[in-house]
């Protein structure tokens, strides 16, 4: 923020008044005041643009398709000889499949919903981030598990719940020792402090650490319908700050918060080994365009809890004022949680932007982590297979397979390469016990 540097469209840095991807809209004096109080901080486009960009992701996909047709016709269209080009490549003679993963997958789904000009012929996505409009007219059930009626929560609702309770749940006896890298990424002492802080706030019950951690895990599984299959993977996600980073970024985006607002006393900066903020080396800053995934912590930029007891500190190492304990800055995480519940007493402002991203309808490689590679298979393999199946449907009129659970086989030994036995194909005619069906207003997923 001090230098007012920003990334050009090609990713290089500039402090000049020219076209850039994003620059915080502060005057020189406002920026100087901010930097004097909060030095070495970063403004992040997704979090701090005040544009709530997710609301227009579907539109942006449609615009990219229109641009694609423009470029194709400029290159391959028929020249008329008078400086004009006859448009020969059109949606009527060209197959378009909207396809991506995660945020891109959600963008593709939303684009298909908003496609009034029939630009898109098919959709093939994996793990789409879609916030559906709440429909209480149906329920969901996996196998013989509980009926889930309170579904369709927002991404922010789920991630803030994980940010608050998962740090304690990591110490539950049912997963503590079996979850891959749990002890490496999640120090038990911090987990115990989180459990104690939650208990003191009445957010978990139990007299012992085991009881409190078990209750936190129960809360996530029962109250938020986090499936038990995720329990062993969730600790490594918490250790990598997945839910925490999404909660911080999206709360700012949905609230259209400016960088100087420091929503929930959180900001972005590089930190040292003790958790104190420090300048990001110039070389690392120059590499952010290529090295960052867009949601801190990433590429050397971390989430800093400015309201931590003592001094601004890396969130994971923060001491909460309410507990005077290093409990992963639980006070800040609870603030983000309150925003997801539209009950923040500090800002008094609900996140109107969250409703703007609701959807109307929802039409790989080897992982080297011990304990992960031997339990899980790459979902990306099936994303590519789905893309091929959609192409075959559009091109050759091949029927799409019914919705189903694919019975994969983890390879067990981390040194064993994946084979076709581990990754069976999506079945064109699955057994009845593998089919995902909608019966009597209930989405039924096999165990």
* pLDDT of 372: 82
User: pTM of the predicted model, to two decimals?
Assistant: 0.90
Of residues 373 and 326, more confidently modeled: 326
Question: pLDDT tens for residues 119-167?
Answer: 999 999 999 999 888 899 999 999 999 999 999 899 999 999 999 999 9
With a cut of 90, say whether residue 352 has pLDDT above it.
no
Each residue of 272-286: b (16+ CB within 10 Å) or e?
A: eeebbbeebeeeebb
**Cβ proximity of 216 and 168 under 8 Å:** yes
**Cβ proximity of 326 and 343 under 8 Å:** no
* pLDDT of 412: 80
Residue 182 CA to residue 349 CA, distance in Å, equals 36
Place of tokens 């269209």: 77
* pLDDT of 346: 45
Q: What are the boundaries of each domain within the chain?
A: 134-363, 397-445
* pLDDT of 41: 97
Residue 313: CA count within 13 A, CB half-sphere: 21
Residue 414: CA count within 13 A, CB half-sphere: 8
Residue 322 CA to residue 13 CA, distance in Å, equals 40
The active-site residue, picked from 15, 37, 102, 343, is 102
Residue 52 CA to residue 341 CA, distance in Å, equals 18
Give the strand pairing for 437-439 and 442-445: antiparallel
Look over the chain and give the mean of its residue pLDDT values, rounded to a whole number: 92
How many angstroms from the chain centroid is the CA of residue 156?
A: 9
> Rounded mean pLDDT of 178-198?
96
* pLDDT of 222: 94
> Rounded mean pLDDT of 19-26?
95
Q: Helix, strand or coil for residue 138?
A: coil
Question: pLDDT tens for residues 391-405?
Answer: 999 999 999 999 999
With a cut of 80, say whether residue 360 has pLDDT above it.
no
Q: Helix, strand or coil for residue 39?
A: coil
64 catalytic? Reply is no
Place of tokens 């369709």: 152
For the chain, the straight-line distance linking the first and the last C-alpha, in angstroms and rounded, comes to 51
């Amino acid at each position: 923020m001090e230098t007012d540097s920003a990334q050009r469209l090609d990713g290089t840095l500039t402090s000049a008044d020219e076209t850039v991807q994003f620059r915080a809209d502060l005057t020189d004096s406002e920026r100087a005041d901010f930097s004097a109080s909060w030095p070495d901080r970063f403004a992040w486009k997704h979090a701090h643009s005040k544009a709530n960009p997710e609301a227009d992701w579907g539109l942006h996909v449609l615009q990219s398709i229109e641009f694609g047709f423009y470029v194709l016709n400029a290159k391959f269209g028929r020249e008329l000889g008078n400086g004009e080009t006859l448009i020969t490549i059109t949606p009527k003679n060209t197959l378009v499949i909207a396809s991506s993963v995660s945020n891109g997958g959600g963008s593709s789904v939303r684009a298909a919903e908003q496609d009034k000009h029939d630009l898109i012929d098919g959709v093939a996505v994996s793990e789409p981030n879609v916030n559906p409009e709440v429909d209480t007219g149906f329920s969901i059930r996996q196998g013989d598990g509980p009926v889930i009626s309170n579904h369709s929560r927002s991404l922010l609702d789920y991630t803030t719940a994980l940010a608050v309770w998962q740090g304690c749940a990591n110490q539950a006896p049912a997963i503590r020792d079996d979850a891959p890298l749990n002890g490496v990424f999640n120090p038990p002492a911090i987990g115990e402090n989180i459990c104690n802080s939650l208990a003191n706030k009445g957010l978990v019950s139990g007299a012992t650490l085991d009881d409190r951690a078990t209750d936190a895990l129960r809360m996530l599984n029962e109250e938020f319908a986090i499936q038990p299959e995720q329990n062993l993977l969730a600790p490594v996600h918490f250790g990598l700050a997945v839910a925490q980073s999404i909660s911080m970024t999206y709360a700012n985006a949905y609230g259209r918060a400016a960088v100087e607002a420091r929503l929930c006393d959180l900001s972005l900066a590089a930190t040292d080994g003790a958790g104190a903020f420090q300048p990001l080396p110039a070389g690392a800053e120059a590499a952010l365009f290529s090295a960052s995934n867009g949601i801190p912590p990433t590429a050397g930029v971390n989430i800093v809890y400015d309201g931590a007891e003592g001094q601004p500190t890396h969130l994971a190492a923060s001491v909460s004022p309410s507990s005077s304990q290093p409990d992963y800055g639980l006070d800040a995480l609870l603030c983000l949680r309150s925003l997801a519940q539209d009950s923040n007493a500090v800002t008094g402002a609900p996140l109107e932007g969250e409703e703007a991203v609701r959807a109307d309808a929802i039409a790989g490689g080897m992982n080297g982590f011990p304990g992960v590679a031997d339990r899980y298979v790459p979902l990306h393999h099936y994303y590519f297979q789905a893309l091929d199946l959609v192409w075959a449907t559009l091109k050759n009129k091949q029927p799409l397979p019914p919705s189903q659970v694919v019975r994969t086989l983890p390879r067990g030994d981390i040194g064993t390469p994946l084979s076709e036995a581990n990754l069976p194909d999506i079945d064109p005619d699955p057994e009845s016990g593998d089919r995902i069906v909608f019966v009597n207003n209930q989405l039924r997923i096999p165990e």
